[in-house]
Amino acid sequence: MNTNEVINKYYDYVNAGDWNNWLNLFDDNIIMDEQLAGHLESIETLRGAVGGLEKGYSKFLMHPQQTVIEGNKACVIWHCEAANASGVPINAKGANYFQVENGKITYMSNFHDTRPFDPFMNQKLN
């Protein structure tokens, strides 16, 4: 897949809650700087984080607003429409930056205000 196809699939899989195919978009040695989770390295670390997404959100949609692709790099401005596990709404805007090599995401970072995600971060999960 080229960069554009990888990025489109990223959001398709997120919005479908298809975390297995989403994980397949990443290189085994992925490096991610995630605003809420911090610095992550390796697909296994990312795989472990998916459980938190599945358990902590009752709804999680990311709507790309604008996408800029230059070679193997992409930036997507997004609107996140989500809800924590008990249904408290989350409405946020931000951006994801991607580097893609050989059809896989090798680096990703995101940038957003963390305050809208308080219902996710501050919930008590069993």
CA nearest to 4, candidates 78, 68, 64, 65: 68
Per-residue model confidence (pLDDT) at position 53: 87
Per-residue model confidence (pLDDT) at position 97: 98
Residue 38, CA distances (Å) to 3, 72, 77 in order = 24, 23, 20
pTM of the model: 0.92
Domain that holds residue 46: 3-121
The CATH number of the domain where 104 resides is what?
Answer: 3.10.450.50
Per-residue model confidence (pLDDT) at position 52: 84
C-beta of residue 45 within 8 angstroms of C-beta of residue 31: no
CA distance 84 to 87: 5
- Is there a domain that residue 34 lies in? yes
Which of left, alpha, beta for 87 (phi over 0: left; psi -120 to 50: alpha)?
left
- Is there a domain that residue 126 lies in? no
CA nearest to 73, candidates 18, 3, 14: 3
Tokens encoding 96:
């994801």
The structural domain count of the chain equals 1
Split the chain (126 residues) into runs of 10 and give each run's mean pLDDT. 97 96 98 92 92 91 98 98 95 97 98 91 83
Per-residue model confidence (pLDDT) at position 51: 86
Per-residue model confidence (pLDDT) at position 58: 94
CA distance 66 to 75: 8
- Is there a domain that residue 50 lies in? yes
18 alpha carbon, distance to own chain's centre:
12
